[in-house]
């Protein structure tokens, strides 16, 4: 059996049998993994309360070559994110991030940057970062990493390069922007100020910005980007995200 | 498959669906039932059916019960004014076992869990609020489990209660080093809590 130790975010836990837990966790090195932690509800030594929801823990595990249930041998708590454990809005946003990650990253798809994104967002959430901004920050980056970045470079119809100056229109089924000559603004194809397009570009770029960059913006732009992301995610994901119901923004 | 007669095979299959019972234990239990006298089978069958037919939720505390209101809710010797809030019937039983708590209970039937689509409306929280005023409650003990969802549920309830009852005493069960525990193997969070909720030594 090949053994690994990776920092991981605990995504889901389910009681199994008398004393076991089935744990889904996002590892830095092997993506999302589901495994059984034998005796985890009894053993204080091997797992020492480190398998609670949304914790960052160092997990020791081995991958089985067949089947999708692997083995957890031990784990140690790195960060429990107390801010997520005491506030329903924060718990709901963390849950939403987990659900979106599950949809974008099927089991065993390795993406170190997704692990880092999840971890950083949990740190920010636990520190009390503004949740509306943090949601936009996470959604944009997660969609990008999952292969669904909004294409902002040129008009999706006539292919004219977007200069970054004029208004544009977002087209959900093309997952990109269009110029005003090719498409008119409507409720479904929302118009975008150049600031909104540029902010999205910054968020999607590899560089690690922080949500406080968005914080500088006025609410009008934040609301516009939020609306765009809703249309984009609804179209690309095509299914209900349970925890979204509990987000007020 | 198929080494036992059909009716025995079926019993083994049903037993092995129960939590904690594997194929081997199921076969052992089934063979035991077969060897025992008929009375055992009849009693067993009847008690299984009774559980499904007779057990319901107490209309006051929402614990599972044969009679409504349940034994604890109808016990006049229990202290009024103190309400202990728990996640499920199993937690209530565990708290009742030492026999030291003399107040009354309220069973939520779950915890807030956005991941599973469980929000405040899915728990017995509104029922708790109406009990607080109806039963003149002075103290609420929040005894949900110290998991992310249990903690969040406790603070959500505390926030909701304090909105219209500032005089209400709200307490949370302590979190710390368990009996027979070893500090070397404790997680950081537990140790932090244990230090925070330390108690004066009484001689
Ligand atoms: Zn165009
Ligand atoms: Zn009752």
Question: Does residue B122 sit in the same domain as residue B167?
Answer: yes
Cβ of B21: how many Cβ atoms within 10 Å? 17
Return all residues near B170 (Cβ < 8 A) that are at least 6 apart: B139, B140, B142, B158, B161, B162
Question: Is residue B34 domain-resident?
Answer: yes
Question: Is residue B203 domain-resident?
Answer: no
Q: Which ligand is nearest to the CA of B70?
A: 2
Cβ of B202: how many Cβ atoms within 10 Å? 4
**Contact present, B144 and B112 (Cβ < 8 Å):** no
Question: Which residue out of B94, B121, B148, B155 would a mutagenesis test of the A interface target, given it has the greatest number of A Cβ atoms within 10 Å?
Answer: B148
Which chain A residue has the Cα nearest residue B114? A243
**What is the average pLDDT across B138-146?**
95
Work out the minimum CA distance from B102 to partner chain A, whole angstroms: 28
> Which pLDDT belongs to residue A232?
96
Distance B178 CA to ligand 2 centre (A): 30
Question: Which residue out of B87, B115, B123 would a mutagenesis test of the A interface target, given it has the greatest number of A Cβ atoms within 10 Å?
Answer: B115
Q: Which chain B residues touch A if contact means CB-CB below 8 Å? A: 19-20, 112-117, 119-120, 147-149, 151-152, 155-156, 178, 181-182, 185-190
Rounded Cα–Cα distance for residues B115 and A29 (Å) = 24
Question: Is residue B73 domain-resident?
Answer: no
Fold classification of A88-249 (topology level): de novo design (two linked rop proteins) (1.20.1440)
Question: Does residue B93 sit in the same domain as residue B160?
Answer: yes
Rounded Cα–Cα distance for residues B60 and B43 (Å) = 31
Residue B32: which CATH number? Answer: 1.10.8.420
Of A48, A85, A99, the CB nearest to B152: A85
Of B19, B116, B148, the CB nearest to A54: B148
> Which pLDDT belongs to residue B144?
97
Across chain A, which has 249 residues, the per-10-residue mean pLDDT values are 92 89 96 94 82 96 86 93 94 98 92 95 93 93 95 94 92 94 91 92 77 73 92 92 90
pLDDT band at B187 (very low <50, low <70, confident <90, very high): confident
**Percent of chain B surpassing pLDDT 70:** 99
- The b-or-e profile of A34-62 (16+ CB within 10 A means b, else e) is bbbbbebeeeeebbbbbbbbbbbbebbbe
A37: helix, strand or coil? strand
> Which pLDDT belongs to residue A215?
62
* Torsion-angle region of A128 (φ positive above 0: left; ψ -120 to 50: alpha; else: beta): left
Which chain A residue has the Cα nearest residue B181? A44
Report the 3 state secondary structure along chain A.
CEEEEEEEEEEEEEEECCCEEEEEEEECCCEEEEEEECCCCCCHHHHCCCCCCCCEEEEEEEECCCCCCEEEEEEEEEECCHHHCCCHHHHHHHHHHHHHHHHHCCCCCCCHHHHHHHHHHHHHHHCCCCHHHHHHHHHHHHHHHCCCCCECCECCCCCCECCCCCCEEEEHHHCEEECCCCCCCCCCCCEECHHHHHHHHHHHCCCCCCHHHHHCCCHHHHHHHHHHHHHHHHHHHCCCCHHHHHCCC
- Domain-terminating residue out of B32, B51, B70: B51
Rounded Cα–Cα distance for residues A175 and B169 (Å) = 53
pLDDT of B66-105, one tens digit each?
Answer: 999 999 999 999 988 999 999 999 999 999 999 999 999 9
**Which helix (H) or strand (E) is B104 found in, with range?**
strand B104-107
Chain centroid to Cα A165, Å, comes to 30
Instruction: Please report, to the nearest 10 degrees, the dihedral formed by the alpha carbons of residues A31, A36, A41, A43 taken in order.
Output: -90
Distance A182 CA to ligand 1 centre (A): 4
> Which pLDDT belongs to residue B199?
85
Cβ of B167: how many Cβ atoms within 10 Å? 6
**What is the average pLDDT across B138-158?**
96
Question: Does residue B115 sit in the same domain as residue B156?
Answer: yes
> Which pLDDT belongs to residue A214?
65
**Contact present, B74 and B86 (Cβ < 8 Å):** no
Work out the minimum CA distance from A103 to partner chain B, whole angstroms: 13
Fold classification of A1-80 (topology level): OB fold (Dihydrolipoamide Acetyltransferase, E2P) (2.40.50)
Of A87, A88, A243, the CB nearest to B115: A243
Question: Does residue B119 sit in the same domain as residue B46?
Answer: no
Question: Is residue B197 domain-resident?
Answer: no
Question: Is residue B62 domain-resident?
Answer: no
Which chain A residue has the Cα nearest residue B154? A86
Question: Which residue out of A246, A247, A248 would a mutagenesis test of the B interface target, given it has the greatest number of B Cβ atoms within 10 Å?
Answer: A246
Question: Is residue B70 domain-resident?
Answer: no
Sketch the domain layout of chain A as residue ranges: 1-80, 88-249
Q: Which ligand is nearest to the CA of A181?
A: 1
**Percent of chain B surpassing pLDDT 90:** 72
**Contact present, B105 and B72 (Cβ < 8 Å):** yes
Question: Does residue B89 sit in the same domain as residue B133?
Answer: yes
Would the CB atoms of B115 and A98 count as touching at under 8 Å? yes
**Contact present, B144 and B154 (Cβ < 8 Å):** yes
Instruction: Report which DSSP code applies to B137.
Output: -
Question: Is residue B64 domain-resident?
Answer: no
Neighbouring-strand partners of residue B56: B65
Number of domains within chain B: 2
Question: Which residue out of B187, B190, B191 would a mutagenesis test of the A interface target, given it has the greatest number of A Cβ atoms within 10 Å?
Answer: B187
Would the CB atoms of B151 and A85 count as touching at under 8 Å? yes
Question: Is residue B181 domain-resident?
Answer: no
Q: pLDDT averaged over chain B?
A: 92
Residue B83: which CATH number? Answer: 3.40.1360.10
Residue B1 in this model has a pLDDT that exceeds 60: no
Would the CB atoms of A80 and B149 count as touching at under 8 Å? no
**What is the average pLDDT across B57-63?**
96
Read off the tokens for A222: 């934040």
Range of the domain at B143: 78-172
Question: Does residue B157 sit in the same domain as residue B86?
Answer: yes
Of B116, B147, B185, the CB nearest to A48: B185
Rounded Cα–Cα distance for residues B72 and B64 (Å) = 11
ipTM of the complex: 0.89
Question: Does residue B16 sit in the same domain as residue B93?
Answer: no
Question: Does residue B160 sit in the same domain as residue B97?
Answer: yes
Of A17, A52, A54, the CB nearest to B19: A17
pLDDT of B5-24, one tens digit each?
Answer: 999 999 999 999 988 788 89
């Amino acid at each position: 059996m090949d053994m690994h130790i990776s920092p991981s975010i605990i995504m889901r836990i389910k009681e199994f049998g008398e004393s076991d837990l089935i744990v889904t966790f996002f590892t830095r090195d092997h993506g999302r993994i589901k495994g059984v932690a034998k005796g985890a509800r009894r053993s204080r030594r091997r797992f020492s309360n480190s398998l609670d929801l949304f914790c960052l823990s160092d997990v020791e595990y081995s991958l089985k070559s067949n089947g999708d249930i692997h083995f957890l041998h031990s784990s140690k708590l790195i960060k429990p994110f107390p801010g997520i454990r005491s506030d329903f809005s924060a718990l709901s946003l963390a849950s939403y991030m987990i659900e979106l990650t599950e949809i974008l990253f099927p089991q065993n798809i390795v993406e170190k940057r997704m692990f880092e994104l999840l971890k950083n967002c949990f740190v920010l959430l636990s520190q009390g970062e503004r949740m509306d901004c943090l949601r936009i920050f996470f959604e944009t980056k997660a969609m990008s990493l999952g292969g669904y970045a909004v294409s902002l470079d040129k008009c999706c119809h006539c292919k004219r390069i977007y200069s970054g100056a004029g208004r544009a229109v977002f087209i959900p089924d093309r997952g990109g922007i269009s110029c005003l000559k090719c498409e008119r603004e409507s409720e479904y194809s929302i118009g975008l100020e150049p600031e909104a397009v540029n902010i999205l570009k910054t968020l999607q770029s590899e560089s690690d910005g922080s949500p406080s960059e968005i914080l500088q913006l006025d609410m009008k732009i934040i609301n516009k980007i939020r609306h765009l992301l809703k249309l984009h995610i609804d179209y690309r994901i095509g299914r209900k995200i349970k925890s979204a119901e509990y987000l007020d923004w | 498959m198929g080494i036992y007669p059909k009716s025995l095979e079926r019993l083994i299959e049903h037993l092995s669906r129960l939590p904690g019972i594997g194929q081997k234990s199921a076969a052992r239990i089934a063979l035991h039932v077969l060897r025992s006298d008929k009375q055992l089978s009849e009693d067993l069958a009847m008690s299984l059916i009774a559980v499904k037919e007779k057990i319901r939720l107490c209309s006051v505390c929402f614990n599972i019960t044969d009679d409504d209101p349940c034994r604890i809710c109808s016990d006049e010797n229990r202290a009024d004014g103190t309400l202990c809030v728990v996640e499920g019937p199993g937690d209530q039983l565990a708290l009742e076992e030492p026999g030291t708590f003399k107040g009354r209970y309220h069973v939520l039937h779950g915890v807030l869990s956005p991941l599973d689509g469980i929000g405040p409306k899915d728990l017995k929280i509104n029922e708790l609020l109406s009990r607080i005023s109806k039963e003149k409650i002075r103290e609420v003990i929040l005894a949900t489990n110290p998991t992310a969802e249990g903690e969040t549920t406790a603070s959500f309830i505390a926030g909701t209660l304090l909105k219209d009852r500032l005089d209400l005493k709200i307490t949370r069960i302590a979190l710390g080093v368990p009996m027979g525990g070893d500090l070397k193997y404790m997680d950081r969070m537990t140790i932090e809590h244990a230090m925070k909720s330390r108690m004066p030594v009484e001689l």
